[in-house]
Amino acid sequence: MPAALENSKPFLAHPFDDDKLREECGVFGVTGVADAANFIALGLHALQHRGQEAAGIVTHNQGTGFHSARRFGYVRDNFTSAKLMETLPGDLGIGHVRYSTAGSKGRTEIRDVQPFFGEFSMGGAAIAHNGNLTNADALRRELIDRGSIFQSGSDSECIIHLMARSLQRDIPERMKDALRRVEGAFSVVAMTRTKLIGVRDPLGVRPLVLGRIGDGWVLSSETCALDIIGAEFVREIEPGEMVVIAPNGGVKSHRPFEARQSRFCIFEHVYFSRPDSILGGQSVYETRRQIGVELARENPVDADLVCPVPDSGTPAAIGFSQESGIPYALGIIRNQYMGRTFIEPSEQIRNMGVRLKLNVNRALIAGKRVILVDDSVVRGTTSRKIKEMILDAGAKEVHFRIASPPTAWPCFYGVDTPQREKLLAATMSEDEMREHLAVDSLKFISLDGLYRAVGEAKGRDPKAPRYCDACFSGEYPVEPSDMLERGFKLKTAAE
């Protein structure tokens, strides 16, 4: 497989970036368009929020075969080079942006960057995966015992090896075999020499949508990436569905898994997805605004200003302001040019922390009782720094309102989550968290309130919840077998 792989040093994240939950990755694929790689690069740019560590593209050209490029850093810094894009010819291709949750976490090698490629007797195939396999450790041991040689530390590579061992006669059937063996969450975009393939796991934990562009087709993690290339949104790939798209053959739908009640990740609505995307027929922006409305109804407070913690808290802050009647204001300004850097920050720069990224609008804040609306509290380190900045600017009171329930449990389905003991809500009550953050009040939206905001009028049905909310409830829809083997303890009846 021709592939020019440039192994540059990965970007260094600033130390305050680790106080947010991060989606593992985004996937994108297109077929039936000239210069597919250019469309893929644009799609990955729109999905950059889902993974900012590295990106990769694989294309296929009928004359020259498969081509690949994988790079560390932002899409804009790599896949806008005409010289690089010329190495990715063809009208069919897939791409991937990633953070590291599984694999060589924090020390990513270029070999961990997707898409992954495999050469089979009936031709090559590439695969890009969003999610996390909860039985990857067990599968890897089994495959290695049977002679498989792994090239990466990623759980996603298990799928390629399982496909290689399948006895089925075509690649889509081999993929079905492989995916029936894996557990956890997966939205997969794959390609053969002629076909584009999309699959969601039976619970539909991670998103995947289908679009149309001219005579071609698009698969994407989110609808916002369809918009950037001028593609028309057709529909969501359904939980447990596989679509196989062939040249001039349309979209063929398959159901390789036993039907189950879907459990889409509710945190996609809260934080992961872009606000201009559509999830389950709902505007992400409108859902987040409605979260703010519910938050104001559940946890009112007398104050002068409602201020978002940029940028993810903005729609909820608008909803909170509209429901409460308290004026909305940009009390914190984000430095839009703040990114990652090759330069190791000095200790003095490290101590500036959040101030490199956010700055308080002092003239607005001084003497005011301020409600800060944020999407979540994870470790609490960033919340404390923001509170200190607001008080330093002369605020009279600081009240936190959080647009998600307390994050008390780690996610094992494709989200970079700290160990449970490092989650503030796992070791403290709401009152203890308020004291720890030293704010005048701290309130979270309830789980029922969150469900109402996403359209469940009666709140959460504890017997059959519609969404995966394990990070809040501790109720895992797929048993995290690898983590249990490592000693992780599931929620007890007492909790």
- The pLDDT tens digits of the residues spanning 246-258 come to 987 789 999 999 9
The residue-averaged pLDDT of 22-36 equals 90
* pLDDT value at residue 10: 30
Would the pLDDT of 196 be above 60? yes
Most confident of 7-11, 331-335, 344-348: 331-335
Q: What are phi and psi of 116, to 5 degrees?
A: -95, 150
Q: What is the residue-averaged pLDDT of the chain?
A: 90
* pLDDT value at residue 381: 87
Q: In what order do the strands lie in the sheet with 116-120?
A: 116-120, 123-133, 184-191, 196-200, 242-246, 250-254
* pLDDT value at residue 12: 31
* pLDDT value at residue 197: 98
Would the pLDDT of 404 be above 50? yes
* pLDDT value at residue 311: 83
Would the pLDDT of 123 be above 70? yes
Q: Is 198 exposed, middle or buried (0-12, 13-18, 19+ CB in 10 A)?
A: buried
Helix, coil or strand: residue 55: strand
The residue-averaged pLDDT of 53-68 equals 96
Would the pLDDT of 214 be above 50? yes
* pLDDT value at residue 337: 65
Of 317-321, 354-358, 420-424, 470-474, where does mean pLDDT reach its minimum? 354-358
* pLDDT value at residue 107: 56
Would the pLDDT of 198 be above 50? yes
Q: Confidence class of residue 369 from pLDDT cuts 50, 70 and 90?
A: very high
CA pair distance 118, 113, nearest whole angstrom: 14
The better pLDDT of the pair 388, 416 is held by: 388
* pLDDT value at residue 349: 53
Question: Considering the chain, what percentage of its residues have pLDDT values greater than 90?
Answer: 82
* pLDDT value at residue 124: 94
Of 186-195, 245-254, 347-356, 442-451, where does mean pLDDT reach its minimum? 347-356
* pLDDT value at residue 461: 97
* pLDDT value at residue 355: 66
* pLDDT value at residue 338: 56
* pLDDT value at residue 457: 95
The residue-averaged pLDDT of 194-222 equals 97
Strands 216-220, 25-31: pairing is antiparallel
Would the pLDDT of 25 be above 60? yes
* pLDDT value at residue 356: 72
User: Which pLDDT tens digit goes with each residue over 72-107?
Assistant: 999 999 999 999 999 999 999 999 999 864 444 445
Q: Which two tokens stand for residue 413?
A: 């389905």
- Between helix 157-165 and helix 136-145 the angle, nearest 10°, is 40
The residue-averaged pLDDT of 131-136 equals 95
Helix H or strand E segment including 131: strand 123-133
Q: In what order do the strands lie in the sheet with 441-444?
A: 305-308, 369-374, 397-402, 441-444
The residue-averaged pLDDT of 135-151 equals 95
* pLDDT value at residue 100: 62
Would the pLDDT of 481 be above 80? yes
CA pair distance 289, 265, nearest whole angstrom: 18
Distance, first Cα to last Cα, the chain: 52
* pLDDT value at residue 9: 30
471 counts as catalytic = no
